[in-house]
Structures are given as C-alpha cells and as structure tokens.
Amino acid sequence: MDTHFNESTLRDYVRIIFWHKKVVIITILTVMISVFIGLEFITPVYQAQVKMLISAEKQTSSPYYRDLGSSQLGQISLTQAEIVKSNPVIERAIIALKLQERPFDYEKNYSPLLKTWYLNIKNRWRPKLFDSPLKPENHSTELEQRYRFTQIVEGLKDSIQVDTIKDTDLFIISAYDYDPEMAANIANVVSRSFVIFDLEQQLAELRLKYGEKHQIVMQLKDYIDKMTNDLTVMSLPFVEAIGPASVKIIEQAQVPFIPVGHSKRMTVVLAFFMSICAGIMLTFGFEYLDHTFKSPKDVETFLNLPLLGSIQKKGFKDNILIDYSRCITAFSQSYQNISDQIYLLLKDKRLKSILITAASPSDGSSTIIANLSNYLSNKAGHKVIVVDTNLRSPTIHKIFNLSDTTGLANVLENKIPLNNAIYQISSNLAVLPAGNTVLNPVTLLESSMMHDVIKTIHNTYEVVIVDYANLSNIKEVYALSSYLDGIVLVVNEGKTRHHVIKTLIAPFRQKKANLIGVILNKRNYVVPRLLYERI
C-alpha cells in the first residue's frame, strides 16, 4: 500500500474516511435498505413451551410400573422426544385444534405488508390443488382431503421442537406459530395428546395382562376418555396435568408476548452500526487500491519534491479566469497564495522562466498558468508573459479569448516577427499563443529559432511562464526545459496516479533538470473545518 498508516496521524485516518464518504453512505444505505426489506419479509413467530417429566411411576401402585435407572432414563427421554412428533400424537392434536380448516395462506394474516404482497403473488401462481408430483391424476375428493391432511401433519411436525434437558428427566415441547395464542394452544394440545398416547400404550398392555373387566384397566380407560374429552385449548388443573401416565406435564404453556429472535429495533440498530463499520473498512480497502494523490503529504512523500501550494477545487460560481476586482473567494485566495509562493521562489533562486506542465492536458495546467499570470501581473505588478507551446492542442488563447491564427508556431516558421505574435492583455501581461502549424512540433521546439524566442522574451519580461500541458510527450518537454530555468509539475488530487507521474519525470531527474516543485490542483478539503481544527 502506498500510504504508510503506521506513520499517519488521526487526521490522516479521518481524511481517508471523509475522502471516501460516498462509499460509507452507499454502504449504510445498502445495508439498511436490505435489512428493512429483509425484516419486512419475516413474519413474527411466537414460541410456547410445555415442560414434561418422564417418571415411569404411577400414583397408585401397580405391577405394570417399575423404577427406571438413570442410565435408562437418558435413552427413554430421546425415545419419548421422537414419539411426540409421531403421527398418532400429531394427528390427534390437529383434529382437536381443527388445523385442517385453516387456509393454506394462514401466514398472510400475520405477515408484514411487503410479505403479504409477496404471498399474494405467490398464491396467485399456486396450483389450485397440490404442488406434489406424486398427486394421482384421477384423484377423488377423499384423496385430496387425505393429501391435504398429510401436508398439515408434516407442517405441524416442522413447527414442533422437542429438547431434552441435560442431566435431568425433563424435556421441553416447543410449538411455533404466527399467532401467540395458537402457539400456546398447539403446545398444550400436543403435550396432552402425547400423554394420551402414553396412557393408550399402558392400556393395551394391561388389557393383555388383566383383561377388559379388571379394575385397573377400567380406571385407566376412564381416565383416557376424560383426557380425550378435555383435549382442548383450556388449561388443565395441576392434578389432572400430572395424571397417572409415565410422562407428566410439569408446566403448561402460556401465551407468549414477544416473538422469538431479536427485536426489529435491535436488529436495525445493530445493522446501522455494522454498516458504518463495513463502510469504514471499505474506505480503507479503496484507499489501499487508490494510488492517486490525495493530500500535500502524498506529493512530498511520493515525488520527493517541495509543494508550492494547493489550488482549491473550483466552485460552481467561480469563473475559470478569476476577476480580482470582485470579492475574494477560497478559490481565488488559493491562487494568490501560490502566486506569491512562486514569485518568492523565483526571486530567491534568481529564476525568471518556468515551464508548468502536467501528465495530460486535462489536468488543468493551462488554467493555472492563466490565473497565476493574471495575479502576478495585475495584482502584484510584475511584468509577465505567457507562452503557449502546446502546438498540438493549444488552450491559452481560449482562456484569454484570443485569436489562434497567429502565434509561436508562425514565429518559429519565420512567417511573422515575434512582436506581431504577442498579444498585450494589460500593461503588465502579455500572451504568446501557440498559433497553427502543419510541421512536427518537435522540430519547431528544438530549433535554434525557439532558443532565440525564449532568449528575447527572457530579457524583456520579469516573469516568463511557458505552458506545455502534456508531460507524456517527453521530447518536446525536454526540449523546452533546456531553454528555461525550471519546471513546475501540476498533479490533480484524486486523479493523477503516483506511478504515472513518477515514470514521466524520471528522465528529467536523470538529466538533472531543475524540478522546482509541485502544484496540487483541484484540492478538495473533505474534512469539515470544525473537525479538522480539533484533530
């Protein structure tokens, strides 16, 4: 990674987050919208529980019952747990609860609006009878009802869960349903149906041993009939819940008030904080992959050149060519600061002519030259000339609204004298446009005539600023640099890549060219000033 985080300050980390703030915002929006949609597709489910005991004992003595060892009880608990979900137990509960009369889209009555809409569409495309490929072609109404009942049985089995409690003789029957009251009813009725099934197994064995008229058999049969008649949603008295079965209801189900799972509010809050963390992680991931200049520190670190200044990104109301007679803005102030910095540098090193160039014409070096020369001449009072050497794609004449019919190219071809090609913009500012030519620009820029032109204007003006906005044309830039006192690079924040500009300036370093410094263009102060001043 280009940015050395171990050498960075808190301000650098905050800048990274604000630089990629769109990533954070998009991540938060994406996660939150997904969570909201996901929650709208979740129908609340309620859980009711019945606690059961395996005792294998009867309140009145009987030779049928015997004590069970602890090792046997563990195996029996698992066996009884499977019996709870057996067809005889489940079918009796369905009939008692009349679940076969519930519509197949029962969930729709309790689902959120979006889930209801989805279920309506799903049910619209649902076959009228059944979806099973095993459905007989010549089915009757009775077969349809049987198939429907089988579906209900399997559905209820899926909504029942049996869990043994470790190191105890207890197990729990859990019932799940969209209706909290129905969840409690299902749990209670299934547990009672299970008790009845256990009593029926005892009754069958006692009949074989004692016959139909034995008192124990008759007592047990009467109790089974009573339990069957009481197989309703009403709560049983505690004594009847205990009963004579080898499995006993210790705790009946109560109506739950809170659905299972995390609350929607908690889920939304957690999702919000997780989305912020995910967004921040993504920002550092993008930072790792982003090799562009994003701060003055990047310029000094990767180019090992002094930063001459930063030019703030142009606002919507800012003109390309600044009018200094109007109120000063942050955009115009950045040009004033960098103009003063460059002039002091030139004066200190006794330089007069500089080449300002960039990796490509789109980096805005021509605009920078126009505003720097405008300030140095009209505000600072220095005699300045701008020379446009972009013979392939000239730009300066457009900024100053000049004609491009004559200019430097015509002078180099000896078609017109130098004085006739120079436009006097103001008393202290002159512009030499590029002009037009059909010849190879390299030939013209390497000619002795070009040397004479630079020498002439060098002796005439206090500051000479030469524009060549395409550093990739190495021969032309190198030819110009040999006539001038120094080179200033322009890099765009968030656009110019480290390795690109380093590769382009490598030949100039080898030739010991005078690289004066760098201008960071289109600077975007992403961290709010209030926060920036406190970190």
List, for residues 105-144, the tens digit of each pLDDT value: 888 888 888 888 888 887 776 655 444 444 455 555 778 7
Assess if residue 256 is contained within a domain: no
pLDDT at 56: 54
Q: Both tokens of residue 158?
A: 């899926």
DSSP E strands: which ranges in 361-477? Answer: 384-388, 423-424, 429-432, 463-467
Query: What is the tally of structural domains in the chain?
Result: 3
User: Does the pLDDT of residue 524 top 50, yes or no?
Assistant: yes
Dihedral pair phi/psi, residue 24, rounded to 5°: -65, -45
Mean pLDDT of 76-104: 85
pLDDT at 482: 86
Q: Which residues form the domain of 211? A: 46-251
What digits encode the pLDDT tens for the residues 296-343? 888 888 898 999 988 888 766 667 787 766 767 778 888 888 888 888
Exposed / middle / buried, residue 196 (Cβ in 10 Å: 0-12, 13-18, 19+)? buried
Mean pLDDT of 375-390: 90
For residue 2, what pLDDT band results from cuts at 50, 70 and 90?
very low
Mean pLDDT of 416-425: 92
Q: How many helices (DSSP H) and strands (DSSP E) are in the chain?
A: 21, 12
Do 238 and 345 lie in a common domain? Answer: no
Are 249 and 192 contacting, i.e. CB atoms less than 8 angstroms apart? yes
Assess if residue 257 is contained within a domain: no
Are 249 and 196 contacting, i.e. CB atoms less than 8 angstroms apart? no
pLDDT at 364: 84
Mean pLDDT of 243-247: 72
Do 36 and 50 lie in a common domain? Answer: no
Rounded CA gap, 249 and 251, in Å? Answer: 6
Task: Return the SS3 of 249.
Answer: strand
For residue 529, what pLDDT band results from cuts at 50, 70 and 90?
low
Q: What is the mean pLDDT of the chain?
A: 84
pTM of the model: 0.70
Do 219 and 279 lie in a common domain? Answer: no
Side chain identity at 141, as an amino acid letter?
T
Q: Which of 164-168, 287-291, 335-339, 371-375 has the lowest mean pLDDT?
A: 164-168
Are 514 and 486 contacting, i.e. CB atoms less than 8 angstroms apart? yes
Do 35 and 52 lie in a common domain? Answer: no
Side-chain-side CA neighbours of residue 511 (13 Å):
17
Do 398 and 424 lie in a common domain? Answer: yes
pLDDT at 235: 67
Assess if residue 302 is contained within a domain: yes
Q: Which of 210-219, 311-320, 422-431 has the highest mean pLDDT?
A: 422-431
Assess if residue 288 is contained within a domain: no
Q: Are strands 429-432 and 307-312 parallel, antiparallel or unpaired?
A: unpaired
Task: Compute how many other C-beta atoms are within 10 angstroms of the C-beta atom of residue 439.
Answer: 12
Do 377 and 519 lie in a common domain? Answer: yes
Higher-pLDDT residue of 1, 21? 21
Assess if residue 237 is contained within a domain: yes
Do 228 and 367 lie in a common domain? Answer: no
Q: Which of 16-20, 228-232, 348-352, 445-449 has the lowest mean pLDDT?
A: 228-232
Distances (CA, A) of 227 to 14, 57, 90, 249: 70, 18, 16, 13
Percent of the chain beyond pLDDT 90?
Answer: 31
Mean pLDDT of 417-438: 91
Assess if residue 516 is contained within a domain: yes
Side chain identity at 122, as an amino acid letter?
K
| Boundary residue ending a domain (197, 231, 251) | 251
Do 243 and 366 lie in a common domain? Answer: no
Do 212 and 273 lie in a common domain? Answer: no
Do 219 and 319 lie in a common domain? Answer: no
User: Does the pLDDT of residue 195 top 70, yes or no?
Assistant: yes
User: Does the pLDDT of residue 58 top 70, yes or no?
Assistant: no
- For residue 342, the domain's CATH number is 3.40.50.300
Assess if residue 236 is contained within a domain: yes
Assess if residue 258 is contained within a domain: no
User: Does the pLDDT of residue 68 top 50, yes or no?
Assistant: no
Do 59 and 175 lie in a common domain? Answer: yes
Q: Which of 80-89, 134-143, 278-287, 418-427 has the lowest mean pLDDT?
A: 134-143
pLDDT at 90: 93
Do 148 and 186 lie in a common domain? Answer: yes
Dihedral pair phi/psi, residue 365, rounded to 5°: -65, -35
Rounded CA gap, 410 and 433, in Å? Answer: 10
Are 114 and 37 contacting, i.e. CB atoms less than 8 angstroms apart? yes
Rounded CA gap, 513 and 24, in Å? Answer: 43
